[in-house]
Amino acid sequence: MYRNTYDSDNTVFSPQGRLHQVEYALEAVKQGSAAVGLRSKTHAILLALKRSTGELASYQQKMYRIDDHVGIAIAGLTSDARVLSNFMRQQAMSSRMVFNRPIPVNRLVSSIADKAQVNTQEYGRRPYGVGFLVIGQDKTGPHLYEFAPSGNSYEYYAMSIGARSQSAKTYLEKHFESFADCTLEDLIRHGLHALRESLQQDKELTINNTSIGIAGPASVHEKDVPAGGSFRILEGEPVEVFLKSMVPKETAEAQAAEAPAAEAPPDGAAPAQAGDQDVSMAE
Amino acid sequence: MTSIGTGYDLSASTYSPDGRIFQVEYANKTVENSGTVIGLRVKDGIILAVEKLVHSKLLVPESNRRILTVDRHIGMATSGLLADGRHLANRARDEAYNYREMYRESPPLKEVVQRLGLYVQAYTLYSSVRPFGVSTIFGAVDKTGPALFIVEPSGISYGYHGAAIGKGRQIAKTELEKLKLAELSMREAVFEAARIIHLVHDDSKEKEFQLELSWIGEETKGLHLPVPKDLCEEADRKAREALETFE
Amino acid sequence: MDHFPTSWGRPRTEAYDAYNTFPLHQRPNPGHKDAFAEGVQRTQQPIVTGTSVLGILYKDGIMLVADTLASYGSLARFKSIQRLHPVGSSTVIGASGDMSDFQYLQTLLEELIIEEFAEADKHELGPAEIHEYLSRIMYGRRSKMNPLWNSLLVAGKKDGKRFLAYVDLLGTTYSASTIATGYGAYIALPLLRTAVEGKEDTLTEEEARKILEDAMRVLFYRDARSLDKYQIAIVNDEGVTISEPKKIETEWGFAEGIRGYGAQIQ
């Protein structure tokens, strides 16, 4: 109701106790094209849909390598993403230099979450306009984290961010229990299916607009992957074989129609409710 | 909605005609809309319990801990904006470390809480920053024994035997007042805390939740540790049973 | 927090000014002036010192030994000092050289361990990480011409792997199955090498103890700044244990027949 008076400054609470500038920053993340992340017992992967401004232009880079064992996919303002990913690289390098160990992924994500929180509390600053999906391997296994400009970060089994990501999330929620024991190829296939859900009508995943990031041992289709399975980004030709492994949409829909829908999450589920303050600013 | 300040509530550096600072009150609103957190100070230690609202079933259950450790013997749990809570935890760790460096001993909880109260209050003085949107429960066992405090967004801190913040604090407070906290042991307090959290959780309004418990005291040799998994599960089970017989 | 409007939008220097404590006119970079710049003296010499520390690998882990003396020049001043210090649950460090610098290092390491404990995730700092951290600190101080005057042994066992390494006031590091600092490097190391090299995976705890005790006895006979009281630290799969101080049995009877030593009877 009174949103307009309370939403121009970073430092103003609304009477309902909400920070509207931060919620608007979360909208900026939703403007970016979709990115999906999922993990199994052995691997964590990212899949992203790349946009291009036109036929003559190249496609926007959606993934960044942070360290041998950590990679991210972004959704939102690319320039903010570069600044934060640079910070992450510094933190990762610092851990290797001072302690001779690869940085534990949860600590890396907490460091950017804390950095982003500062920007939500001071006048003259604006919240970062980008969200990340961070994957990595450390001593405790593969991990997937979501980072949001509100300064909140959570660990997930599978997650998607960006435009029309709710449809991808629906797919992930349906299937996530089977991810743990998937092979890398199956995991990528699930990820591509989820990513496909976020496409607009008449669009499809091609080798030009899809990128896949993998942290973990090599798949049967990859060559020259170092033994430890460091984070790598697959784009262009190498993606073809995985795209071919997808189940065509018509068959998939027929299968879904046969199986009783276990739950039908409402579209655009969970709009910002006052009761959700402590777990997320807004969906 | 009588709390709409109409012009006196746009910054923390403005008083209203009746002497209130609305931005701080709105920050309290943020806390009131969040999941419940309680703390119990009992005979031989402290228990902290959090009603962790699960917003997606894709979340990994063991990660995303809400209760944080400050130094070895101090635990804290926040209700409100979680990112602000982490900011305060980092500041509390700095304060504890500075105390330790200066005096070469383990910081008493009272000292850390006072310093943190000053820090939180400083953010309520200026228009260029906003108040913290969290209330924090601190618990520790130091050389004075078990200690429990709440720091509110206004910077006020009080010591408690039983503390509750967040959505279900009224119900939780009523339940806590019924208990004889000074006579409970840590184990008994774990069961009581679980029962109270289950009681305040409104199944009809909210989604699922997870119960997170931690303790400090005799059972942990003075370290702040999560309650062991088997005890947690037992407490959870007993709490659900108690609810069934209640209804 | 920053309530001065003219500072808004400036780069933030989180590294050393996380809470914006420097006044407005000195930002963004106050030049980091040290108030004592004029009268500061660099470390010239160690004052209260400890002598050798010895370390070896054995079958189940590692073992370090050091005597319990802190000398004040030639005076045997503090005879019950613990020079072996546990760090976390899988590492122990032993220091020779200046004892006040060692105490400073102990506080730094304690801060590190508390920070790691507060993270409360399943990651722990093991001996390799502690060693890397210490070597960065030692080398950094040496580069400022203000060294922490110590020679340190860092040892431990993590995830089944044993670790034993050395770092000193110059930032020199090295790792081996037998290491010693101070006089131990000249007198004890040859004895340790003959006894241990090749047998790191078969030596039992008893055998390792005996080797170290014999080496400490030789050192007490020959090192003029040593004591016959020592402590042994063991790190194995169960964790870190530092023993109570033990006395070495020594034989000085041979001196009686020599003119100039012992009670002069003739």
Q: How far is C117 from chain B (nearest CA, A)?
A: 7
Answer whether residue C265 is part of any domain: no
Q: What is the pLDDT of residues C50-94, one digit of tens each?
A: 999 999 999 999 999 999 999 999 999 999 999 999 999 999 999
* Cis status, amide bond into C28, omega within 30 of 0: yes
Threshold 0.80, pTM exceeds: yes
Q: Find residue B214's DSSP bridge partners.
A: B48, B226
pLDDT for the residue numbered C41:
72
Q: Would you list the domain boundaries of chain B?
A: 20-246
- Mention every residue, 6+ apart, whose C-beta is less than 8 A from residue B97: B71, C111, C114
Cβ neighbours of C122 in B, within 8 Å: none
Higher-pLDDT residue of C28, A158: A158
Q: What is the pLDDT of residues A113-130, one digit of tens each?
A: 999 999 998 888 899 999
Q: What is the CATH number of the domain that holds C191?
A: 3.60.20.10
Answer whether residue C175 is part of any domain: yes
Query: What does the block give as tokens for C114?
Result: 């508390």
Q: Is the pLDDT of residue C234 over 60?
A: yes
C49 catalytic? Reply is no
Answer whether residue C34 is part of any domain: no
Count of alpha carbons within 13 angstroms of residue A211, beta-carbon side:
21
B64 in contact with A, Cβ within 8 Å: yes
Q: Which residue of C has its CA nearest to B105?
A: C107
Contact A123, B127 (CB under 8 A): yes
Q: How far apart are CA C75 and CA C194, in angstroms?
A: 33
CATH superfamily assigned to domain B20-246: Aminohydrolase, N-terminal nucleophile (Ntn) domain (3.60.20.10)
Give the residue numbers spanning the domain of C211.
Answer: 48-245
Answer whether residue C240 is part of any domain: yes
A166 in contact with B, Cβ within 8 Å: no
Contact C192, C214 (CB under 8 A): no
Surface-to-core class of residue B17, CB atoms within 10 Å of its CB (0-12 exposed, 13-18 middle, 19+ buried) = exposed
Which residues between 66 and 125 in chain A have a beta carbon less than 8 angstroms from any beta carbon of chain C?
Answer: 97-101, 104, 106-107, 115, 118, 121-125
For residues B19, A1, A18 and B209, what is the CA-based torsion angle, rounded to 10 degrees?
Answer: 120
Answer whether residue C25 is part of any domain: no
Answer whether residue C5 is part of any domain: no
Best mutation target, B10, B130, B135, to test chain A (most A CBs within 10 A): B130
pLDDT (tens, 9 = 90+) of chain B, 247 residues, equals: 444 667 888 888 899 988 999 999 999 999 999 999 999 999 999 999 999 988 888 999 888 889 999 999 999 999 999 999 999 999 999 999 999 999 999 999 999 999 999 999 999 998 888 999 999 999 999 999 999 999 999 999 999 999 999 999 999 999 999 999 999 999 999 999 999 999 998 777 767 888 999 999 998 999 999 999 999 999 999 998 988 886 5
Count of alpha carbons within 13 angstroms of residue A42, beta-carbon side:
14
Contact C204, C80 (CB under 8 A): no
Provide the number of structural domains found in chain C.
1
pLDDT for the residue numbered C18:
65
pLDDT for the residue numbered C266:
57
Cβ neighbours of B27 in A, within 8 Å: 13, 17
Answer whether residue C95 is part of any domain: yes
Q: Test C123 with A124 for CB contact under 8 angstroms.
A: no
Q: Which residue of B has its CA nearest to A143?
A: B60
Strand blocks (E) in B115-168: 134-142, 145-151, 157-159, 162-165
Q: Where is average pLDDT lowest: A143-147, B127-131, C7-11?
A: C7-11
Average pLDDT, chain A: 86
